[in-house]
Structure 1
Amino acid sequence: MGARLIAPEHNGKKSLVSSTRQPTPFGRALRNVGWLLTGKGVGAVLSIVYLALATRSLGVQKFGQFSLVLSTAQAVAAFAGFQTWQIVVRFGMAHRERPGGGDMAALARVVRFCLLLDLGAALVGCVLASIAMLLMQDHFGWSPHLTRNALLFSFVLLLSVRSTAVGVLRLHDKFATGAGADAVTPLVRFIGAGIAVWWHATVTGFLIAWAASEVLTAVAYWISASRAAPGLMSHWRGGLRAPAENPGLWRFAFVTNIGSTLTVASRQVVVVLVGLVTGAAAAGNYRLAYQLSQSLVRLADMFARGVFPEVSRADASRTYEGLVALVRQSGKLAVAVGGATCVLVPLLGSPALHLIAGAKYLGAYPVLVLLGIAAGFDIMAVGFEPVLLGTGHATQALVIRVVAAAVLFIAVALLMPPLGVIGASIASLIASALLLAMLVHAALRLIRGLARSAA
């Protein structure tokens, strides 16, 4: 920004000119997203391979058990964990952008506080996971061996904290570095899944592979964060002062925690509910369809994560004209990609299921169609939610998530008993459509207010 650029040659000579053009917020967001997608692009390809290895080698019943363990552990992690990366970006941006070179000491205290929050939440999650896995053992008749391994996997998942490190990298615009760290997850899962199949595929083998990916990804993120900002974690003193120095931090932390819980945990809980009501095999089919449909949503979520720092930066510097343009452009792109997803998933779903999992999983196609359309709505939603979170309207975003989650569980309770797994899929579609409608309404109303402020 403001760097000197080499102008075109004239008469064989190069001239240096000062560039006064600054990249737009949307341009910076797309650059950030490009780096995020670099890691996710590799992951998307590898995830198809290791998903195929798991479904084909474990079989329907064992893959269902594997799905139940993953969904239960991920639901607990979402319930207990805080989105500390958002806290680092939201509150750290003001310290970093402060005139005079920024207040790095205050920023360091925010980072240390967030890491303490991550660790405390992980310990609470371990207690909750112990209770959840014992209940699953009683209901499904799991062996003590499987229950112990499921519990150990949950502990590893919960204790491999990296959200704060993610926030440090995004705060310092190190999206390329983050892409490299993020690519560790699918790479290790791919290698681990291959080893698990070679050693006679078992649920335990795949759990070990997934656990290893969590640990190594966390290590990669923390090494990258310490190199990007070496002074932020030099000592632990002062971290507990961060809430007093940053008014609204606790409120933002709990609001984003509840929002994340409702977003991630509610969908994972549906997988568990499908298993409780219809059995492990149906849960495996539902998770397979859900995972395939959500692969595009995860890519779109990278877009939201790239946009969020730019919204926070514009809000901190009060550059509302750029913020209004950023939100409008982001919304248009998200709607276009989401609309394409709604069309492509039904068209390509059956061949994809046959290629990845085999003919025995083709019964999941109707579920995939419904969840694919829901995924399209979710992709559209990611173009609008960052404006609420990045401008201090996290509570409004939370209320919308609460309403959508309540509708999801009410619809599941009403539709799954008569319709089974199809009923659960219809419930997800209804909830996603409602979530999109409410986020669009709230974001557009906020944009109109910001446009008046910028006028």
Structure 2
Amino acid sequence: MSRSSIEKPGIRILKNGGWLLGGKTVGAVLSIIYLAMITRNLGPENFGKFALIFSFAQAIAGIISFQTWQIIIRYGTKYVLEKAVDDFARLIMLCLALDVIGILLGTVLTLTAVYGFAGYFGWDAAYSLKISIFTFVILLSTRGTAIGILRVHDRFRDAALADSLVPIIRFVGVGVAVFLGGSIDRFLFVWAFSEMAATAIMWIIIARTMPLHLGQQNWRHIGRYYRKYTDLTRFAAFTNLGSSLRLMSQQLIVLIVGFYTGPAAAGFFRLGHQLGQVVARIADGISFAIYTEYSRITQSAGSGAARSMIGRTMRVTAVSAAILLAILLLAGKPLIIMIFGPDYAPAYPLVLLLGGAAAVQVAAMALEPVLMTHGRAGWVLIANAVGVGVMALLLPLLMPELEATGAAIAVLVGAALTAISLALAFRFMSNDQQTPTI
């Protein structure tokens, strides 16, 4: 194999990752600005209530998500390379059906959870209705299938532009809401509108530029299309369970902290997580590009070239993780006080610990897409289960004494164990490519 054939995928990763990186960077910068406006406007207590509502909606959306973008890349890359438009259209129909099923399940779960936990969080009937409506809008805004369509066609620029609308709309909307007299309800409206707008724009881009041939297929044959993929149920279940487990250390744990220590502590924890995830979200752009490109190069050039590409990528991510930790250690607390105000200084230990967890995620970000591409979704699930399981065991041990800080320590330990498990799974897969998938 020529050197140029190996380098081309790396160039595509830089190009595609660059578009995602640009969108994620814009989002990260704007998120800090509008987060500062919200925190200063609401104060720790009300910001905590806002964080609890948003985390609740994100948790529901994540639990019912089938990660259809991964399904499209996993099974659709071959169709795109072979220009099998009918097969690709049927795969899209399957993913859209899964999205609809997810929305219906999410609606039922939302109503059950909102009215089941309303008493614990002090939500009256009117407020519970607002939370339910907000969560339903978030469910309708799912764009996993649209993202998968754009990424599998190397349309990372279009996906990044649509995703960039979310922080831009929130930035403008938060400014208007603060001018009118900021409130939790107004900020929730801004968040819901931004998600719906991004989803609509993404589908408009697809409809105008990419004929999908959906009209030539018969929706009554959706069951036949589904049976064509013998391992789709397993793959979808594993990706869904994996994303649900990750939510334990992202959204659900905010609810746990809020339930145990109150809204203000939940707000500090959410702020710490948000800041710690800024660089991790930027790195996600490269991770998504890796997933798509690794799938492509495995199909066309073999696993040897693919592993070489991943080795170079992991060296870069390790350096990125070290830089993130250095920034948090040297400038974390002064930046919190300067941007969000002295009332949020207690969030610094959480920023440091949760930032450490984010750094671990950055260092290991290339491993998960590689395992997913090779059909090792079960291994990814096990790795996430190890981290979340240990975190769940640590929460009742640490929180009674350390409260939110104890929860952050549990998240850090869980992230480290997940990364170690992914690394072991990758090493085992590399040493024995004949191992059956699970």
Q: TM-score under structure 2 normalisation?
A: 0.94
Which residue of 2 is the match for residue 184 of structure 1? 165
Contact 1:171-1:309 at 8 Å conserved across structures: yes
Q: Structure 2 counterpart of 1:446, which letter?
A: M
Which residue of 2 is the match for residue 325 of structure 1? 308
Which residue of 2 is the match for residue 197 of structure 1? 178
**Structure 1: 5+ residue runs without aligned partners?**
1-18
**Shift of the alpha carbon at 1:145?**
3.0
Secondary structure of 2:366's partner? coil
Greater Cα offset, 19-28 or 214-223 = 19-28
Contact 1:74-1:265 at 8 Å conserved across structures: no
**Shift of the alpha carbon at 1:232?**
4.0
Which residue, 81, 90, 99 being the options, matches 1:118? 99
Q: Structure 2 counterpart of 1:294, which letter?
A: Q
1:138-158: per-residue Cα shift (whole Å, max 9, x none)?
112223332221111100001
Which residue of 2 is the match for residue 252 of structure 1? 235
Q: Structure 2 counterpart of 1:293, which letter?
A: G
Which residue, 168, 174, 177 being the options, matches 2:149? 168
Q: Does 1:217 align with 2:201?
A: no
What RMSD in Å do the two structures reach over aligned CA positions? 1.8
Which residue of 1 is the match for residue 21 of structure 2? 37
Which residue of 2 is the match for residue 71 of structure 1? 55
Contact 1:304-1:386 at 8 Å conserved across structures: yes
Whole-angstrom CA distance in 2 between matches of 1:345 and 1:189? 25
Matches within 5 A, 1:373-384: 373-384=356-367
Whole-angstrom CA distance in 2 between matches of 1:378 and 1:384? 10
Which residue, 368, 371, 378 being the options, matches 2:354? 371
**Shift of the alpha carbon at 1:349?**
1.2
Whole-angstrom CA distance in 1 between matches of 2:349 and 2:425? 32
Whole-angstrom CA distance in 2 between matches of 1:152 and 1:305? 30
1:119-143: per-residue Cα shift (whole Å, max 9, x none)?
1101111111112222332112223
Whole-angstrom CA distance in 2 between matches of 1:440 and 1:228? 39
Whole-angstrom CA distance in 2 between matches of 1:359 and 1:235? 60
Q: Structure 1 counterpart of 2:357, which letter?
A: A
Contact 1:63-1:284 at 8 Å conserved across structures: yes
Greater Cα offset, 287-296 or 237-246 = 237-246
**Shift of the alpha carbon at 1:20?**
7.4
Give the structure with the higher percent helix. 2
Greater Cα offset, 405-414 or 66-75 = 405-414
Secondary structure of 1:131's partner? helix
Higher relative contact order (CA 8 A, sep 6+): 2
Q: Structure 1 counterpart of 2:48, which letter?
A: G
**Structure 2: 5+ residue runs without aligned partners?**
none
> How many aligned positions are there?
430
Whole-angstrom CA distance in 1 between matches of 2:6 and 2:304? 14
Whole-angstrom CA distance in 2 between matches of 1:131 and 1:195? 34
Contact 2:58-2:251 at 8 Å conserved across structures: yes
Whole-angstrom CA distance in 2 between matches of 1:242 and 1:224? 26
Q: Does 1:387 align with 2:370?
A: yes
Which residue of 2 is the match for residue 140 of structure 1? 121
Distance 1:448 1:193, change over 3 A: same
Larger-gyration structure (1/2): 1
Contact 1:174-1:228 at 8 Å conserved across structures: no
Which residue, 307, 311, 319 being the options, matches 1:336? 319
Q: Does 1:312 align with 2:295?
A: yes
Distance 1:284 1:322, change over 3 A: same
Q: Structure 2 counterpart of 1:87, which letter?
A: I
Whole-angstrom CA distance in 2 between matches of 1:83 and 1:284? 28
Q: Percent identity, aligned pairs only? A: 37
